[in-house]
C-alpha cells in the first residue's frame, strides 16, 4: 500500500444523495405535474469530481504514508526474511540493531528509493481505477454499494500491481541486504544501489525476476484491501454515530479519521500477516538455474528457513510444518504498526487533499475538526 504495499480510499456514501425518479419529486408538497416548476434531481458531488483529483490526492497520500513508515517495514522484512537470526526476532531489538550497525539511510531506510519508484504511481493508479470502477458500477450499472466497494478495491490493486510488484521485489531485496558490503548481516545480496540492483537482476536472473512472487503479492494484497475496506466502512459509520453527526452533511473529527483508518489497516494487516510472510520469503529467495534456493542468512547457530514455491497453499503448509503457527506471524508487530499508521496517514491526507482541491475550485466542503 502499499506499497500499497496496498491502500484503500476514503469510503464515501453515494447513496447520501439518492436520485429518485422524476415522478417522485415534489415542490412545496405538491407532486410534479401540478403546474409548479420541476425541481431537478440532486447531483452527487462525488460523481462529478474529475478522476484526476482522486489520482493526485491518492498518489501524494500514499507516498507520504509509505515514507513515514519505511523503517518499520524494513524491520518487518528482516524478521520475515531472516526468521532464524536471533538479533532480529524482537521488533525493537531489531530496530536498534539495524540502526546502530548499518545506520539510518543505508540500514533502516534501505530500499527507500525503490519503494518511492512504485509508491506514488501505484497509489495514483489504484485510486484512479477504484474511483472509475466505483462510479461505473453504482451510477451507471446500479450495482449494490458494498459489492461495488469490494470489487473496486480488488480491481484497483490488480491494475496497480503492474507497477508496485517490481518495486516491491527491489525494495524487499534492498531492505534485506541493508548497506553495501554489509559486515553485520549476509543476505546473499550485495547491490551498490537501486540502479545496480535493477541491472544485476535483469542481467543475471532475467527481467521476469522483477515480477517474482507476483501471485504471492496479489494473494496478500487483494484480501488485505477487501478487509481493510470493509472494516473502514463499518468503523467510519460507527464513528459518525459516536460523534452524533450526519454522515451526509458533516465531517468527522481528525481524531476519528485517524483512529478509523488505523484500526482498519491494523486489523487487516494482522489477519493477512501469514500471506505477507510467504510473499516476503518468495521474493527474497535466490534463483539459480530455475531452482529456488534460500539465501545464506549468516545465522551460525540457527537453521535457515525452508525454501518456498510459488504455490501459496504449499508455501503456507511448509511454513507451518517447519516453524509452527509462530512462523505465520513473523514480523506481525512491525506489520501491525506499519499498516495502522500508514493507513491512517494516507486516508487522512486523501480526505484533506480532496477537500483542499474542491475548495480551490470553488466547491465548498465541510472542514475537519
Q: How confident is the model over 84-132, as pLDDT tens digits? A: 899 998 999 999 999 999 999 999 999 999 999 999 999 999 989 988 9
Where is the domain boundary, 177, 212, 247?
A: 212
Where is the domain boundary, 191, 212, 233?
A: 212
pTM reported for the whole predicted model: 0.73
Is 290 domain-assigned? no
- Grid cell listed for 367: 472542514
Report helix, strand or coil for 140.
Answer: helix
Is 2 domain-assigned? no
How far is CA 6 from its chain centroid? 2
What's the pLDDT score for residue 201? 94
For 59, other C-beta atoms within 10 Å of its C-beta total: 23
| Residues spanned by the domain of 92 | 44-212
Where is the domain boundary, 156, 183, 212?
A: 212
Q: Is residue 76 domain-shared with residue 104, that is, in the same domain?
A: yes
Please say if the pLDDT value at position 289 is more than 70.
Answer: no
Dihedral, CA of residue 94, residue 97, residue 100 and residue 105, to nearest 10: -40
pLDDT band, residue 225 (cuts 50/70/90) = confident
In the beta sheet, which residues pair with residue 30?
27
| Cell 484512479, located at residue | 128
Please say if the pLDDT value at position 274 is more than 60.
Answer: yes
What's the pLDDT score for residue 215? 85
- Grid cell listed for 183: 559486515
Counting the structural domains of the chain, the total is: 2
- 368 vs 206: which has the higher pLDDT: 206
Is 30 domain-assigned? no
What's the pLDDT score for residue 134? 84
Q: Which of 122-131, 172-181, 290-299 has the lowest mean pLDDT?
A: 290-299
Q: Is residue 262 domain-shared with residue 331, that is, in the same domain?
A: yes
Q: Is residue 84 domain-shared with residue 180, that is, in the same domain?
A: yes
Q: Is residue 170 domain-shared with residue 249, that is, in the same domain?
A: no
Which residues, at least 6 apart from 343, have a Cβ–Cβ distance to it below 8 Å?
1, 7, 8, 65, 228, 261, 262, 264, 265, 266
What's the pLDDT score for residue 110? 95
Rounded average pLDDT over 310-335: 89
Q: Is residue 65 domain-shared with residue 205, that is, in the same domain?
A: yes
What's the pLDDT score for residue 118? 92
Q: Is residue 185 domain-shared with residue 329, that is, in the same domain?
A: no
What's the pLDDT score for residue 362? 60
What's the pLDDT score for residue 304? 59
On whether the CB atoms of residues 119 and 63 are closer than 8 A, the answer is yes
What's the pLDDT score for residue 103? 94
- 323 vs 361: which has the higher pLDDT: 323
Q: Is residue 154 domain-shared with residue 228, that is, in the same domain?
A: no
Is 9 domain-assigned? no
pLDDT band, residue 174 (cuts 50/70/90) = very high
Please say if the pLDDT value at position 15 is more than 70.
Answer: no
In the chain, % of residues over pLDDT 70: 78
- Grid cell listed for 20: 429518485
Half-sphere exposure of 182 (CA within 13 A, CB side): 28
Q: Is residue 236 domain-shared with residue 271, that is, in the same domain?
A: yes
Q: Is residue 179 domain-shared with residue 225, that is, in the same domain?
A: no
- Grid cell listed for 341: 499508521
Q: 125: domain CATH number? A: 1.50.40.10
Is 318 domain-assigned? yes
Measured between alpha carbons, how far is 329 from 331 in angstroms, rounded to an integer? 6
- 145 vs 117: which has the higher pLDDT: 117
Q: Kindly give the residue spans of alpha helices, DSSP state H, lying in the chain.
A: 45-48, 51-68, 70-81, 91-102, 112-135, 145-177, 194-205, 214-242, 254-271, 273-284, 312-323, 325-328, 332-360
In the beta sheet, which residues pair with residue 293?
286
Q: Is residue 230 domain-shared with residue 194, that is, in the same domain?
A: no
pLDDT band, residue 148 (cuts 50/70/90) = confident
- Judging by beta carbons within 10 Å of its beta carbon (0-12, 13-18, 19+), is residue 105 exposed, middle or buried? exposed
Is 294 domain-assigned? no
Rounded average pLDDT over 65-88: 91
Computed over every residue of the chain, the mean pLDDT equals 80
pLDDT band, residue 366 (cuts 50/70/90) = low
What's the pLDDT score for residue 266? 95
Four-residue CA torsion sign, 279, 60, 252, 126? negative
Query: Each residue of 23-58: pLDDT tens digit?
Result: 444 444 444 444 444 433 334 555 567 889 889 998
Is 234 domain-assigned? yes
Q: Is residue 207 domain-shared with residue 220, that is, in the same domain?
A: no
Is 27 domain-assigned? no
- Grid cell listed for 44: 452527487
Please say if the pLDDT value at position 219 is more than 90.
Answer: no
Q: Is residue 72 domain-shared with residue 220, that is, in the same domain?
A: no
Amino acid at each position: 500500500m502499499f506499497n500499497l504495499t496496498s491502500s484503500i480510499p476514503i469510503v464515501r456514501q453515494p447513496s447520501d444523495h439518492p436520485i429518485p425518479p422524476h415522478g417522485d419529486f415534489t415542490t412545496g408538497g405538491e407532486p410534479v405535474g401540478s403546474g409548479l416548476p420541476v425541481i431537478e434531481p440532486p447531483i452527487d458531488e462525488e460523481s462529478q469530481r474529475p478522476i484526476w483529483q482522486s489520482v493526485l490526492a491518492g498518489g501524494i497520500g500514499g507516498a507520504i504514508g509509505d515514507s513515514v513508515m519505511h523503517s518499520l517495514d524494513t524491520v518487518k522484512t528482516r524478521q520475515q526474511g531472516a526468521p532464524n537470526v536471533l538479533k532480529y526476532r524482537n521488533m525493537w531489538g531489531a530496530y536498534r540493531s539495524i540502526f546502530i550497525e548499518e545506520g539510518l539511510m543505508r540500514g533502516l531506510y534501505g530500499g527507500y528509493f525503490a519503494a518511492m519508484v512504485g509508491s506514488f504511481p501505484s497509489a495514483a493508479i489504484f485510486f484512479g481505477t477504484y474511483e472509475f470502477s466505483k462510479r461505473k458500477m453504482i451510477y451507471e450499472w446500479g450495482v449494490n454499494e458494498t459489492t461495488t466497494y469490494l470489487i473496486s478495491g480488488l480491481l484497483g490493486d490488480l491494475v496497480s500491481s503492474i507497477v508496485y510488484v517490481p518495486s516491491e521485489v527491489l525494495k524487499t531485496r534492498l531492505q534485506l541486504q541493508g548497506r553495501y558490503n554489509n559486515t553485520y548481516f549476509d543476505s546473499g545480496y550485495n547491490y551498490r544501489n537501486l540502479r545496480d540492483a535493477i541491472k544485476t537482476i535483469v542481467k543475471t536472473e532475467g527481467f521476469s525476476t522483477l515480477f517474482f512472487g507476483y501471485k504471492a503479492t496479489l494473494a496478500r494484497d487483494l484480501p488485505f484491501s477487501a478487509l481493510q475496506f470493509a472494516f473502514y466502512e463499518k468503523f467510519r459509520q460507527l464513528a459518525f454515530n459516536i460523534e452524533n453527526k450526519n454522515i451526509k452533511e458533516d465531517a468527522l473529527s481528525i481524531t476519528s479519521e485517524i483512529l478509523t483508518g488505523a484500526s482498519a489497516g491494523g486489523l487487516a494487516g494482522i489477519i493477512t500477516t501469514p500471506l505477507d510472510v510467504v510473499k516476503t520469503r518468495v521474493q527474497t529467495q535466490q534463483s539459480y538455474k530455475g531452482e529456488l534456493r534460500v539465501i545464506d542468512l549468516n545465522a551460525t547457530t540457527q537453521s535457515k528457513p525452508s525454501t518456498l514455491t510459488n504455490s501459496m497453499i504449499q508455501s503456507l503448509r511448509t511454513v507451518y510444518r517447519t516453524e509452527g503457527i509462530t512462523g505465520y506471524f513473523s514480523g506481525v508487530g512491525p506489520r501491525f504498526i506499519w499498516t495502522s499508521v500508514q493507513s491512517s496517514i494516507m486516508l487522512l491526507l486523501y480526505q484533506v487533499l480532496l477537500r483542499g482541491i474542491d475548495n480551490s475550485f470553488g466547491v465548498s466542503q465541510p472542514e475537519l475538526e
